Amino acid sequence: MSDLCRLTIHEARDLLRRGEISAVELTRAHLERIETVDARVRAYLHVDADLALAQAEDADRRRAAGEDDSLLGIPLAVKDIITVQGMPATAGSRILEGFMPPYEATVSRRLRKRGAVFLGKTNLDEFAMGWSTENSAFFTSRNPYALDRVPGGSSGGSAAAVAADEALVALGTDTGGSVRQPASWTNTVGLRPSYGRVSRWGVIAFASSLDQVGPLTKDVRDNAILLEAIAGHDPRDSTTMPEPVPRYEDLLEGGVQGMHFGLPREYFVKNIHPGVRRAILQAVDKLVELGATVEETHLHYTKYGMPVYYLVGTAELSANLARYDGVRYGFSAGAANMWENYRQTRGRGFGQEVKRRIILGAYALSAGYYDQYYLKAQKVRTLIREEFETAFETFDALVAPVAPVPPFKIGQSPTDPVELYLTDVLTLPTALAGLPCISVPAGFMEDEGESLPVGLQIIGKPFDEATVLRIAYAFEQATNWRQVRPQLA
């Protein structure tokens, strides 16, 4: 049964179509896998075996009746910031502990309609604010490739579930790098779609102009399949664009022969680990070997990505999180006085990182500072986006590292918040510009005697996920890094 958990979507799809396995068998195998290894990996906050098996039985009935779909009977996991009706939605926070949403996110509803099986909800940094899942209010997830290390964040639980074969695929969210960074650190494929490609309706908001749902998968083909399923205009989310959704799986072939890629010098920051640098430069050599040309380029506004993000993002989250007051839903401190109850509820319900960012955002929006901080940050954000647009007049795509350092050991993350924020320094500018980016396995590096994954970041033009996936697929097929699986006996 454990062999079934190693399958990809497209492999499982073929077996299901031929009748060699059933959706129930596939789901039971994953539930058994979760029971066997999740006590060590700790990817899930909530598992619903009864719901999963009921959905699997329904998928088998639908297939027997002649229905055929790439996702029919496919077991998957969902980051616990995305609402799924019938399952709790905590956003990794005590302030939402026990909350059962009366609605379902558009992405979840689309997957349910196509017959996907929801195994459960995965762990994350509280309200998606973090790099490691150490900011989860409940526990820290572990990296399947090195159980003493973090899997990244904030979608660390989703990435760990896929890497540990506890789900065929998973959904995460990427606000500043929260799909790509954990993908890089767990040897999985993680895509951040263009802003407006995937609906945010039903996703618990962090920063509304930055949040995007993205797939975490074992290979690029699966990523294309899952993206097609969740993408598209949604009348309930006015930020989604009425762009047609291509059949991404059909556009993977073609290779990179004749393509011209930019290698931004600013992405090789001074604190980049030598092992990361080596793996990325070897990946670039592989792209050249496949027929592409790679030219060093400059993105001068990259250095402003972190301060701009931590002004824009915190300003938006301070407004979004004002609704958690202990009155209508979620945790309430139960104090007799309304204002005291409000103070205690938020003081005890939110973790330190969330409170730190709320304070920073409220300050940036406060009277006398709005123009000086938030408005100026939005102007620099426009310059960052325009610089990318200029680069894409020359290049088909940009290639770069995802994270400058390998996953750190649990409990040994930097204590200085600014030093921690630098973990996302290579993913923040693209998020601010709303660009599609993917992390694809690019090798392993040694750190303190452990072999740790490294991801290659491919950055594309707005709404050109097809090219990003095509490049990633060509690189993946020319290497075997995705076949290196963690040893979880």
Residue 420 confidence class, pLDDT cut points 50, 70, 90 = confident
Is 79 designated active site? yes
Closest of 202, 267, 250, 292 to residue 478, by C-alpha: 292
**C-alpha to C-alpha distances, 94 to 168, 174, 220, 341, nearest whole angstrom:** 29, 22, 35, 15
What are the tens digits of pLDDT across the range 268-307? 998 899 999 999 999 999 999 999 999 999 999 999 999 9
- In the annotation, is 178 catalytic? yes
pLDDT band at residue 367, thresholds of 50, 70 and 90? confident
| Chain centre to alpha carbon of residue 59 | 27
Domain count, the chain: 1
Mean pLDDT of 470-478: 98
Residue 378 has what pLDDT? 97
Whole-number CA gyration radius for the chain: 21
Q: 67 lies in a domain? A: yes
* pLDDT more than 90, % of the chain: 92
Average pLDDT over residues 337-344: 91
127 is a domain residue: yes
User: CATH number of the domain that 196 lies in?
Assistant: 3.90.1300.10
Check pLDDT > 70 for residue 453. yes
List the catalytic residue out of 136, 141, 155, 178: 178
Statement: residue 471 has pLDDT above 60: yes
Give me the chain's average pLDDT, please: 96
Q: Above 80 in pLDDT, residue 409?
A: yes
What's the pLDDT score for residue 489? 66
Of these residues, 22, 79, 121, 218, which one is catalytic? 79
Q: How many residues does the chain have?
A: 489
Residue-wise pLDDT tens digits, 239-277: 999 999 999 999 999 999 999 999 999 999 988 999 999
Partnered with residue 295 across adjacent β-strands are: 262
Helix (H, G, I), strand (E, B) or coil at 79: strand
422 domain-assigned: no
Q: With cut-offs at 50, 70 and 90, classify the pLDDT of residue 368.
A: confident
Report d(CA 364, CA 135) in Å as an integer. Answer: 23
136, 154, 155, 318: which one is catalytic? 154
Q: Does residue 413 carry a pLDDT above 90?
A: no
pLDDT digit string, tens, across residues 95-123: 999 899 999 999 999 999 999 999 999 99
Per-residue pLDDT of 160-206, as tens digits, reads 999 999 999 999 999 999 999 999 999 999 999 999 999 999 999 99
Q: How many Cβ atoms from other residues are within 10 Å of residue 35's Cβ?
A: 12
Residue 310 domain-assigned (yes or no): no
State the alpha helices, DSSP H only, in 325-443.
Answer: 338-349, 352-365, 376-391, 417-421, 428-433
pLDDT at 24: 98
Amino acid at 72: L
The two tokens of residue 429 are 């500018």
Domain assignment of residue 343, yes or no? no
Instruction: Answer whether residue 54 is part of any domain.
Output: yes
What range does the domain containing 93 cover? 2-260
In a domain, 7, yes or no: yes
Mean pLDDT of 213-218: 98
Look up residue 343 and give its two tokens. Answer: 């103070």
Per-residue pLDDT band at 69 (split at 50, 70, 90): very high
303 counts as catalytic: no
Classify residue 216: in a domain, yes or no.
yes
